Amino acid sequence: MTATTAASGAPLIEARDLTKYFGSVVALHDVSLSVRAGEVLCLLGDNGAGKSTLIKILSGVHPPDSGEILVDGEPVVFGSPRDALQRGIATVYQDLAMIPLMSISRNFFLGAEPVSGFGPLKTLDIKQADRVTRTALKQMGIDLRDTSQPVGTLSGGERQSVAIARAIHFGAKVVILDEPTSALGVKEAAVVLRFIGQAREQGIGVILITHNINHAFPIGDRFTILDRGTCTGTFDKADLTTTQLLEHMGGGAELAEIEHELEKPIPVA
Protein backbone atom coordinates (compact mmCIF):
# COMPACT_ATOMS: atom_id res chain seq x y z
CA MET A 1 0.00 0.00 0.00
CA THR A 2 1.55 3.25 -1.07
CA ALA A 3 0.77 6.48 0.66
CA THR A 4 -2.29 8.16 -0.76
CA THR A 5 -3.48 11.71 -0.62
CA ALA A 6 -5.74 12.66 2.22
CA ALA A 7 -9.00 10.72 2.39
CA SER A 8 -8.78 9.18 -1.02
CA GLY A 9 -8.20 5.89 -2.73
CA ALA A 10 -9.43 2.46 -1.82
CA PRO A 11 -10.37 1.71 1.80
CA LEU A 12 -7.48 0.65 4.03
CA ILE A 13 -9.83 -1.56 5.95
CA GLU A 14 -13.35 -2.56 5.10
CA ALA A 15 -15.83 -4.62 7.08
CA ARG A 16 -18.69 -6.26 5.21
CA ASP A 17 -21.84 -7.51 6.88
CA LEU A 18 -20.22 -8.49 10.16
CA THR A 19 -22.45 -10.49 12.47
CA LYS A 20 -21.56 -11.67 15.94
CA TYR A 21 -23.54 -13.72 18.42
CA PHE A 22 -22.79 -14.28 22.08
CA GLY A 23 -24.97 -17.27 22.88
CA SER A 24 -28.53 -16.13 22.18
CA VAL A 25 -27.55 -12.46 22.08
CA VAL A 26 -27.15 -10.85 18.67
CA ALA A 27 -24.35 -8.40 19.41
CA LEU A 28 -23.89 -7.28 15.81
CA HIS A 29 -26.06 -7.81 12.77
CA ASP A 30 -24.80 -7.16 9.21
CA VAL A 31 -22.62 -4.19 10.09
CA SER A 32 -20.40 -2.68 7.41
CA LEU A 33 -17.88 0.13 7.50
CA SER A 34 -14.75 1.29 5.75
CA VAL A 35 -12.00 3.79 6.34
CA ARG A 36 -9.56 5.29 3.85
CA ALA A 37 -6.12 6.79 4.32
CA GLY A 38 -6.16 10.25 5.88
CA GLU A 39 -9.70 9.89 7.08
CA VAL A 40 -11.30 9.87 10.51
CA LEU A 41 -14.30 7.60 10.70
CA CYS A 42 -16.32 8.07 13.87
CA LEU A 43 -18.17 5.08 15.16
CA LEU A 44 -21.03 6.41 17.19
CA GLY A 45 -23.59 4.69 19.30
CA ASP A 46 -25.03 4.50 22.76
CA ASN A 47 -23.87 2.00 25.37
CA GLY A 48 -24.69 -1.51 24.23
CA ALA A 49 -24.94 -0.52 20.57
CA GLY A 50 -22.19 -3.00 19.63
CA LYS A 51 -19.26 -0.59 19.27
CA SER A 52 -16.95 -2.63 21.46
CA THR A 53 -17.86 -5.89 19.78
CA LEU A 54 -17.20 -4.36 16.39
CA ILE A 55 -13.75 -3.08 17.26
CA LYS A 56 -12.86 -6.33 18.96
CA ILE A 57 -13.61 -8.06 15.66
CA LEU A 58 -11.61 -5.50 13.68
CA SER A 59 -8.65 -5.79 16.03
CA GLY A 60 -8.56 -9.58 16.00
CA VAL A 61 -9.85 -10.29 19.51
CA HIS A 62 -13.08 -11.99 18.40
CA PRO A 63 -13.71 -13.77 15.09
CA PRO A 64 -17.00 -12.72 13.43
CA ASP A 65 -19.73 -15.36 13.04
CA SER A 66 -20.32 -14.17 9.48
CA GLY A 67 -19.19 -11.39 7.21
CA GLU A 68 -15.69 -10.54 6.11
CA ILE A 69 -12.86 -8.09 6.71
CA LEU A 70 -10.77 -6.72 3.86
CA VAL A 71 -7.43 -5.05 4.32
CA ASP A 72 -6.24 -3.19 1.22
CA GLY A 73 -9.03 -4.92 -0.66
CA GLU A 74 -7.83 -8.37 0.34
CA PRO A 75 -9.98 -10.64 2.53
CA VAL A 76 -8.23 -11.45 5.81
CA VAL A 77 -8.88 -13.61 8.86
CA PHE A 78 -7.41 -12.38 12.13
CA GLY A 79 -6.54 -15.17 14.56
CA SER A 80 -5.24 -12.79 17.22
CA PRO A 81 -4.55 -9.10 17.86
CA ARG A 82 -1.02 -9.84 16.68
CA ASP A 83 -2.33 -10.82 13.22
CA ALA A 84 -4.20 -7.54 12.98
CA LEU A 85 -1.12 -5.65 14.11
CA GLN A 86 0.97 -7.26 11.40
CA ARG A 87 -1.59 -6.11 8.87
CA GLY A 88 -1.16 -2.55 10.12
CA ILE A 89 -4.35 -2.43 12.19
CA ALA A 90 -3.53 -1.15 15.68
CA THR A 91 -6.01 -0.65 18.48
CA VAL A 92 -5.52 1.72 21.39
CA TYR A 93 -7.73 0.86 24.33
CA GLN A 94 -8.93 3.47 26.76
CA ASP A 95 -7.56 2.04 30.00
CA LEU A 96 -5.31 -0.66 28.68
CA ALA A 97 -3.02 1.27 26.40
CA MET A 98 -0.09 1.87 28.73
CA ILE A 99 1.48 0.35 31.79
CA PRO A 100 1.61 3.05 34.47
CA LEU A 101 4.63 1.81 36.43
CA MET A 102 6.87 1.45 33.38
CA SER A 103 8.82 4.32 31.88
CA ILE A 104 7.52 6.08 28.79
CA SER A 105 10.22 4.72 26.52
CA ARG A 106 9.90 1.17 27.92
CA ASN A 107 6.18 1.40 27.27
CA PHE A 108 6.77 2.82 23.83
CA PHE A 109 8.93 -0.11 22.80
CA LEU A 110 7.14 -2.86 24.72
CA GLY A 111 6.90 -5.85 22.40
CA ALA A 112 9.27 -4.29 19.83
CA GLU A 113 12.37 -3.50 21.86
CA PRO A 114 15.47 -2.15 20.13
CA VAL A 115 18.45 -4.42 20.79
CA SER A 116 22.14 -4.19 20.05
CA GLY A 117 24.78 -6.91 20.02
CA PHE A 118 24.61 -10.50 18.86
CA GLY A 119 23.04 -13.76 19.96
CA PRO A 120 22.72 -14.22 23.70
CA LEU A 121 24.54 -10.93 24.28
CA LYS A 122 21.74 -8.95 22.69
CA THR A 123 20.95 -6.18 25.07
CA LEU A 124 18.20 -3.68 25.31
CA ASP A 125 19.37 -0.36 23.91
CA ILE A 126 17.83 1.99 26.45
CA LYS A 127 19.54 5.09 25.11
CA GLN A 128 18.31 4.33 21.62
CA ALA A 129 14.81 3.71 23.00
CA ASP A 130 14.85 7.03 24.85
CA ARG A 131 16.13 8.90 21.81
CA VAL A 132 13.69 7.36 19.33
CA THR A 133 10.78 7.78 21.71
CA ARG A 134 11.55 11.46 22.18
CA THR A 135 11.92 12.19 18.47
CA ALA A 136 8.90 10.10 17.49
CA LEU A 137 6.75 11.92 20.01
CA LYS A 138 8.17 15.28 18.99
CA GLN A 139 7.28 14.60 15.36
CA MET A 140 3.74 14.05 16.49
CA GLY A 141 3.76 17.25 18.48
CA ILE A 142 4.26 15.82 21.98
CA ASP A 143 7.18 17.41 23.75
CA LEU A 144 8.19 15.40 26.79
CA ARG A 145 10.89 16.46 29.15
CA ASP A 146 11.93 13.04 30.34
CA THR A 147 10.99 9.76 28.66
CA SER A 148 12.41 7.71 31.53
CA GLN A 149 9.67 8.81 33.92
CA PRO A 150 6.84 6.36 34.58
CA VAL A 151 3.80 6.65 32.34
CA GLY A 152 1.78 7.05 35.53
CA THR A 153 3.11 10.59 35.81
CA LEU A 154 1.53 11.61 32.49
CA SER A 155 -1.93 13.08 32.26
CA GLY A 156 -4.69 11.01 30.68
CA GLY A 157 -4.57 12.95 27.41
CA GLU A 158 -0.81 12.61 27.14
CA ARG A 159 -1.06 8.88 27.79
CA GLN A 160 -3.55 8.40 24.99
CA SER A 161 -1.44 10.53 22.65
CA VAL A 162 1.71 8.55 23.43
CA ALA A 163 -0.17 5.29 22.83
CA ILE A 164 -1.41 6.54 19.44
CA ALA A 165 2.06 7.81 18.51
CA ARG A 166 3.46 4.41 19.38
CA ALA A 167 0.98 2.62 17.13
CA ILE A 168 1.83 4.92 14.23
CA HIS A 169 5.57 4.68 14.84
CA PHE A 170 5.36 0.91 14.52
CA GLY A 171 3.72 1.06 11.15
CA ALA A 172 0.01 1.16 11.83
CA LYS A 173 -1.95 2.31 8.77
CA VAL A 174 -5.24 2.15 10.61
CA VAL A 175 -5.54 3.17 14.25
CA ILE A 176 -8.65 2.14 16.13
CA LEU A 177 -9.28 4.32 19.18
CA ASP A 178 -11.65 2.99 21.80
CA GLU A 179 -13.28 5.87 23.67
CA PRO A 180 -10.01 7.80 23.90
CA THR A 181 -11.65 10.88 25.39
CA SER A 182 -14.36 9.47 27.61
CA ALA A 183 -12.37 9.59 30.84
CA LEU A 184 -10.79 12.96 30.11
CA GLY A 185 -11.52 16.53 31.02
CA VAL A 186 -12.30 19.08 28.34
CA LYS A 187 -8.74 20.32 27.84
CA GLU A 188 -7.25 16.85 27.91
CA ALA A 189 -9.81 15.66 25.38
CA ALA A 190 -8.80 18.55 23.13
CA VAL A 191 -5.17 17.39 23.36
CA VAL A 192 -6.17 13.96 22.09
CA LEU A 193 -8.46 15.29 19.35
CA ARG A 194 -5.75 17.60 18.07
CA PHE A 195 -3.44 14.64 18.06
CA ILE A 196 -5.90 12.57 16.04
CA GLY A 197 -5.89 15.42 13.50
CA GLN A 198 -2.10 15.13 13.29
CA ALA A 199 -2.37 11.42 12.62
CA ARG A 200 -4.89 12.05 9.85
CA GLU A 201 -2.53 14.49 8.18
CA GLN A 202 0.11 11.80 8.11
CA GLY A 203 -2.22 9.64 6.03
CA ILE A 204 -3.37 7.37 8.84
CA GLY A 205 -6.88 5.96 8.72
CA VAL A 206 -8.51 6.50 12.11
CA ILE A 207 -11.55 4.72 13.50
CA LEU A 208 -12.69 6.73 16.50
CA ILE A 209 -15.17 5.07 18.81
CA THR A 210 -17.08 7.43 21.03
CA HIS A 211 -20.51 8.27 22.30
CA ASN A 212 -19.65 11.93 22.69
CA ILE A 213 -20.82 13.88 19.66
CA ASN A 214 -19.06 17.03 20.79
CA HIS A 215 -15.79 15.15 20.50
CA ALA A 216 -16.68 13.30 17.33
CA PHE A 217 -18.07 16.12 15.24
CA PRO A 218 -15.06 18.47 15.08
CA ILE A 219 -12.62 15.73 14.10
CA GLY A 220 -14.72 13.24 12.12
CA ASP A 221 -14.88 13.07 8.33
CA ARG A 222 -17.55 10.42 8.23
CA PHE A 223 -19.86 9.01 10.86
CA THR A 224 -21.11 5.46 11.12
CA ILE A 225 -23.90 5.04 13.61
CA LEU A 226 -24.66 1.84 15.45
CA ASP A 227 -27.89 1.20 17.25
CA ARG A 228 -28.66 -2.04 19.04
CA GLY A 229 -26.25 -4.09 16.98
CA THR A 230 -27.19 -2.76 13.56
CA CYS A 231 -25.76 -0.01 11.43
CA THR A 232 -28.29 2.77 11.04
CA GLY A 233 -26.29 4.70 8.49
CA THR A 234 -23.02 6.31 7.46
CA PHE A 235 -22.92 10.04 6.83
CA ASP A 236 -20.42 12.50 5.42
CA LYS A 237 -19.72 15.47 7.60
CA ALA A 238 -20.87 17.87 4.85
CA ASP A 239 -24.30 16.29 4.90
CA LEU A 240 -25.27 16.84 8.48
CA THR A 241 -25.21 18.94 11.64
CA THR A 242 -24.61 17.82 15.22
CA THR A 243 -28.31 17.95 15.87
CA GLN A 244 -29.05 15.63 12.98
CA LEU A 245 -26.26 13.37 14.13
CA LEU A 246 -27.76 13.24 17.58
CA GLU A 247 -31.13 12.36 16.12
CA HIS A 248 -29.61 9.56 14.11
CA MET A 249 -28.03 8.21 17.27
CA GLY A 250 -31.47 7.96 18.76
CA GLY A 251 -30.70 10.17 21.75
CA GLY A 252 -31.74 13.44 20.18
CA ALA A 253 -35.28 13.54 21.42
CA GLU A 254 -34.33 12.79 25.03
CA LEU A 255 -31.54 15.35 25.10
CA ALA A 256 -33.72 18.05 23.58
CA GLU A 257 -36.30 17.35 26.22
CA ILE A 258 -33.76 17.59 29.02
CA GLU A 259 -32.38 20.79 27.56
CA HIS A 260 -35.84 22.23 27.52
CA GLU A 261 -36.51 21.17 31.08
CA LEU A 262 -33.26 22.55 32.40
CA GLU A 263 -33.94 25.95 30.97
CA LYS A 264 -36.79 26.25 33.40
CA PRO A 265 -35.97 26.80 37.07
CA ILE A 266 -35.79 23.49 38.86
CA PRO A 267 -38.88 23.13 41.04
CA VAL A 268 -38.14 22.68 44.72
CA ALA A 269 -39.61 19.48 46.05
Partner 1 sequence: MTTAERRADERVRKVGLASLLLTRPEIGAVVGAVLVFVIFAVWAGGNGFLSLAGTASYLEVAAQVGIVASAVALLMIAGEFDLSVGSVVGAAGMVVAICIGIIGLPVWLSVILAFAFALVIGFVNGYLVVKTRLPSFIVTLGMLFILRGLTIGITRAVTGRTQVGGLAATTDGDPIATIFTANIGPFSISILWWIGLALLATFVLLRTSFGNWIFGVGGSAIAARNVGVPVNRVKIILFMATAASAALLAVIQVLDVGSGDVLRGSDKEFEAIITAVIGGTLLTGGYGSAIGAVFGALTLGMTKQGIVFAGIPGDWYQAFLGVLLLAAVIVNNYIRQRATMTRH
Applying CB under 8 A, the residues found at the interface with partner 1 are 81-82, 85, 91, 93, 96-102, 106, 109-113, 115, 122-124, 126, 145, 150, 152-153, 155-156, 158, 166, 185-188
Three-state secondary structure along 144-161? CCCCCCEHHHCCHHHHHH
Q: In the bound complex, what is the minimum distance in angstroms from residue 13's beta carbon to partner 1?
A: 18
Q: In the bound complex, what is the minimum distance in angstroms from residue 221's beta carbon to partner 1?
A: 26
Contact (Cβ atoms closer than 8 angstroms) between residue 23 and residue 15: no
CA distance 13 to 57: 12
Contact (Cβ atoms closer than 8 angstroms) between residue 183 and residue 212: no
The residue among 53 and 91 lying less far from partner 1, judged by its C-beta, is 91
The residue among 122 and 138 lying less far from partner 1, judged by its C-beta, is 122
Strands 174-178, 8-22: pairing kind:
unpaired
The residue among 159 and 222 lying less far from partner 1, judged by its C-beta, is 159
Q: In the bound complex, what is the minimum distance in angstroms from residue 228's beta carbon to partner 1?
A: 27
> Which of 70, 81, 7 shows the shortest CA–CA distance to 40?
7
Q: In the bound complex, what is the minimum distance in angstroms from residue 96's beta carbon to partner 1?
A: 5
The residue among 101 and 268 lying less far from partner 1, judged by its C-beta, is 101
> Which of 190, 220, 189, 227 shows the shortest CA–CA distance to 205?
220
